[in-house]
């Protein structure tokens, strides 16, 4: 088990941050967690430690948002997500981490700028099977590599202008399935050694704390303000990923 205090100095707030995001406040901000933990351990180890905790949070989230998710298109999104997981598992040893961060960060920023500049921003976008399948596949891919599936999925979900509880519930269901499926390739890749699993177990009690805090915050934020906050957080997250990506170029 990891005993270095510096690791827990970054891991504890990272897990609280994931929980707040999964609880419904600031969807997507949880992607900062893996880079935070990676300040103390290698990126692959950070991802392996966080995955069991993510799965535990998903159980709490499913209970908190039971029945409140987009039922009509969820199977399409899950199909794309699982395909993305398969691609991510195959690419795990070949994708450059820095370039991946740059790509995700740049896209997140461009997406927010486009949405804020659009004169039709207040109008809900119609469902597009092609867009839903594509962005859920990208989400599954990036989630497999660095648990950064939030921004690609938000590209599809945010323009739909769903009621905020349905929006959060849909992301909870999507990532509950995605994270559970990710356990298979992570096991296949040999990422779950005893040290990582013991460290995950020590940090696990923080899971419900963060997610219940996120639920509490989400219920007290008006819908329009909720979406503005989501866009601001997505912009901040994109900037952070872009910065980390360029800093990590060799």
**Distance between CA atoms of residues 201 and 219, nearest Å:** 30
Task: Look at 1-5, 22-26, 36-40, 41-45 and tell me which has the smallest mean pLDDT.
Answer: 22-26
Question: What six digits make up the tokens of 55?
Answer: 């799965």
Please report the pLDDT score of residue 85 as a whole number: 96
Mean pLDDT on 176-191: 94
Please report the pLDDT score of residue 62 as a whole number: 86
Question: What six digits make up the tokens of 167?
Answer: 């929006």
| Cα 102 to chain centroid, rounded | 16
Question: What six digits make up the tokens of 238?
Answer: 């994109």
Please report the pLDDT score of residue 223 as a whole number: 58
Nearest to 179 by CA among 209, 139, 144: 144
Please report the pLDDT score of residue 29 as a whole number: 62
Angstrom distances, CA of residue 111 to CA of 45, 48, 146, 238, 241: 30, 29, 20, 10, 14
Task: Look at 18-27, 57-66, 152-161 and tell me which has the smallest mean pLDDT.
Answer: 18-27
Place 119 in a pLDDT band, splitting at 50, 70 and 90. Answer: very low
Q: Are 92 and 189 in contact (CB under 8 A)?
A: yes
DSSP string, 141-154: HHHHHHS--HHHHH
| Cα 161 to chain centroid, rounded | 19
36 or 7, greater pLDDT: 7
- What digits encode the pLDDT tens for the residues 36-55? 787 788 778 888 999 999 99
Q: Global pTM?
A: 0.79
In our burial notation (b when 16+ CB lie closer than 10 A, e otherwise), range 38-67 reads: bebbebbbbbbbbbbbbbbbbebbeebbee
């Amino acid at each position: 088990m990891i005993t270095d205090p510096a690791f827990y100095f970054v891991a504890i707030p990272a897990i609280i941050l994931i929980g707040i995001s999964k609880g419904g406040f600031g969807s997507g901000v949880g992607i900062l967690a893996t880079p935070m933990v990676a300040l103390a351990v290698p990126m692959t180890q950070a991802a392996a430690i966080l995955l069991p905790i993510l799965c535990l949070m998903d159980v709490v989230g499913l209970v908190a948002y039971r029945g409140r998710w987009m039922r009509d298109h969820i199977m399409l999104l899950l199909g794309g997500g699982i395909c993305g997981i398969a691609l991510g598992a195959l690419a795990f040893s070949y994708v450059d981490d820095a370039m991946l961060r740059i790509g995700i960060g740049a896209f997140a920023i461009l997406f927010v700028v486009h949405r804020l500049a659009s004169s039709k921003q207040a109008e809900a976008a119609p469902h597009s099977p092609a867009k839903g399948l594509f962005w859920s596949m990208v989400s599954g891919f990036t989630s497999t590599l660095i648990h950064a599936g939030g921004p690609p999925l938000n590209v599809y979900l945010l323009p739909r202008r769903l009621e905020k509880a349905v929006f959060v519930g849909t992301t909870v269901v999507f990532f509950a399935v995605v994270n559970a499926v990710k356990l298979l390739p992570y096991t296949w890749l040999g990422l779950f050694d005893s040290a990582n699993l013991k460290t995950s177990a020590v940090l696990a009690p923080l899971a419900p704390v963060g997610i219940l805090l996120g639920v509490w915050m989400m219920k007290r934020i008006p819908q329009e303000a909720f979406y503005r906050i989501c866009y601001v957080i997505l912009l901040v997250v994109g900037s952070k990923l872009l910065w980390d990506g360029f800093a990590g170029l060799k």
